[in-house]
Amino acid sequence: MLIRWAGLRRPSGGFLFCKVMVGPSHARGITRTAVAASLAALLLCLFDVASASPGDQSAEYKSCLRRCRGINCTQEKQTTFRSGQAWYLALLLWDCADECRHECMWHAVDVLQANGKPVPQFHGKWPFWRFYGIQEPASVIFSILNGICHLWMWRKFRRLVPPSAPFYAIWKGQAVLSINAWFWSAVFHARDTPLTEKLDYYCAFSVVLYSLYSLCMRVLGTKSAWLSISVTMPFAAFFVYHIQYLNFVHFDYGYNMKANVITGLLNSIGWLGWCWHHRQRGYVWKGIIVVFMLDALLLLELGDFPPWHFLVDAHALWHLGTAPLPLLWYRFLIDDSLYELREKKNAGKVANGLHDWFFPSDESTRTPKDVQNDGEEFAAGQCTSCLSHDEFLIKAKVQVTQNGNSIGEDCPKCV
């Protein structure tokens, strides 16, 4: 029975469990009642097991797991196991206990489906086809796609928006955290371990929390250093507390979910309110669409369902749905940054105009020597007869223009 899916779901085909389990005498020797007493001890041997699920509590899974570990994972068999393991499985740190859990999961799925029962979850996760050691290939691909979209659009943002634009550093931080979070999402879905799970959860929350922080900074502005610090410190302190609690006190899935949902809800309400307040700006619709699409995609997380052909589940579709959103979100940020940059320049021109109105300067008293001195200081002089030009027409220490006029008279473009 197990040979059928051993070659499909486990490409290595070299795990010892298959060679033992395919024999009919061994299969008949596996009883469902022989392992009930030892199940708790076996589960304690597992590393940071997630909350129990119907699949891993089934008798089919329990009996298979006990048999597999008893035959293949003894101290004497470890050398044989490692020598026969495919390189890509060893690279992704699949050990004997992990292989037993994976093989027995599919054994239980086959038995349950043969009896007309629905496919259950195992250790909090749906069963997926494993591709060269990668546990959830679709989610890995979609996570990488999200990261690529963020990276591509950030490069476009950098090309179009100068670093002098307001909030440039804020959006740079958001891009860096997003790319980092999707990287660890791909790692976690490729290989689910306690470490990769925590890194995925922590980095995902960093993006959610930073989104709310960036909203606050966008509303309050970054001109005041004291105000920026006053806003930054509470967010940084809460993030440190969140990680400390999950890592050292209790890895509480419920608390982590509530923290993400509440933070995301505040972020969505805040951005919709900001867009409504600035609805006269022609680009705010882009931000509104992204917020609504992101909230709509959350329905996939709430309506979880077994994976289609053991490849794509609701969570994978969530990752697929979020992939194109950066394309529109960064365009919103580009438009907003360029708008703020124009406002900043216009405000500077108004301020300079008022200064010139109240404190006029007499340029007619400047001599060629004054212009030469200016050129020595700034590496370029400006023609005194056409100061309205925004070009540097003469290099420093040049006394005569090409048409024979000296500095301070007519410039070459005005003759």
Do 70 and 99 lie in one domain? The reply is yes
In a domain, 15, yes or no: yes
Residue 147 CB-density burial (10 A; 0-12 exposed, 13-18 middle, 19+ buried): buried
Please write the tens of the pLDDT for every residue from 106-153. 999 999 899 888 988 888 888 999 999 999 999 999 999 999 999 999
Residue 293 lies in a domain: yes
pLDDT band at 57 (very low <50, low <70, confident <90, very high): confident
pLDDT of residue 366: 52
158 CB-side CA count, 13 A? 11
Number of residues written out for the chain: 415
Q: Is residue 154 part of a domain?
A: yes
Same domain? For 98 and 144 the reply is no
Residue 124 falls inside a structural domain:
no
Full residue range of the structural domain in which residue 23 is found: 2-114
72 and 192 co-located in one domain: no
Q: Confirm whether 126 is domain-assigned.
A: no
Pair 206, 287 in one domain:
yes
Q: Same structural domain for residues 386 and 239?
A: no
User: Residue 312: is its pLDDT beyond 70?
Assistant: yes
- Spatial CA neighbour of 122 closest among 134, 138, 141, 105: 105
CA distances from 182 to 103, 228, 274, 363 (A): 29, 27, 27, 58
Does the residue 127 lie in any domain? no
User: Do 110 and 9 fall within a single domain?
Assistant: yes
- Sorted by sequence, the CB contacts under 8 Å of residue 287 that are 6+ apart come out as 271, 274, 275, 329, 332
Mean pLDDT, the chain, rounded, equals: 78
Going from the C-alpha of 354 to that of each of 341, 349, 359, 365, the distances in angstroms are 20, 9, 8, 22
CATH number of the domain encompassing residue 241: 1.20.1070.10
**pLDDT greater than 90 at residue 305:** no
* pLDDT band, residue 345 (cuts 50/70/90): confident
On whether both 265 and 334 belong to a single domain, the answer is: yes
Instruction: Answer whether residue 165 is part of any domain.
Output: yes
| pLDDT above 90: residue 167 | yes
Q: Do 343 and 368 sit in the same domain of this protein?
A: no
Quick: pLDDT tens for 370-396. Answer: 545 544 444 444 444 444 444 444 443
* 95 and 55 co-located in one domain: yes
Give residue 352's pLDDT band: very low, low, confident or very high (50, 70, 90): low
CA 226 to chain centre: 29
pLDDT at 33 > cutoff 60: no
* 69 and 177 together in one domain: no
- Number of structural domains (the chain) is 3
Are 57 and 150 in the same domain? Answer: no
* Residue 158 and residue 62 share a domain: no
